[in-house]
Amino acid sequence: QVRLVMKAHSFIRENVPRVLSSVKDKSGAVHIPRISQYLYFLFAPTLIYRDNYPRNPTIRWGYVATKFAQVLGSLFYAYYIFVRLCIPQFRNSSQETFNLRGLVLCIFNSILPGVLILFLVFFAFLHCWLNAFAEMLRFADRMFYK
């Protein structure tokens, strides 16, 4: 939701001044972005709205497949870590009476697996997922700032 709010803010910030300046100048042509431009912006891995982005000429489908395979591998590995290292800690504590020492031990024993899962989720989404969509949209991110 935060990502969509940031994208909406960027879209409004880029387009409202153009529309207001054309209304203020009383020129007949008001440049309003097309729906296809907005939809492309919603799926492109950027928070900066432009009417046109630099595009690659082709899509490397092998690259897309490897990125989606890395997403699946990361999710399965995170599931494995969660099942093997986190769930047994709390399953044993649910059968015992509550004590602060046991709770603190469960939390400290879950910190390392939790950090590993966090890294895997960041890798899966921020690197693999967004790069796969950038490649499918032919988003030329290396040429974006030219």
Q: Determine the pLDDT at residue 54.
A: 84
Contact 85/110 with Cβ under 8 angstroms?
yes
| Joined tokens for residue 128 | 């693999």
Helix (H, G, I), strand (E, B) or coil at 51: coil
**Looking at the whole model, is its pTM more than 0.85?**
no
Q: Determine the pLDDT at residue 79.
A: 94
Residue 97: C-alpha distances to residues 91, 92, 101, 103, 104 (Å): 12, 10, 11, 10, 14
Contact 131/124 with Cβ under 8 angstroms?
no
- As averages over each run of 10 residues, the pLDDT of the chain (146 residues) reads 92 88 72 87 88 88 96 96 86 75 84 94 92 89 62
Beta strands in the chain (DSSP E): none
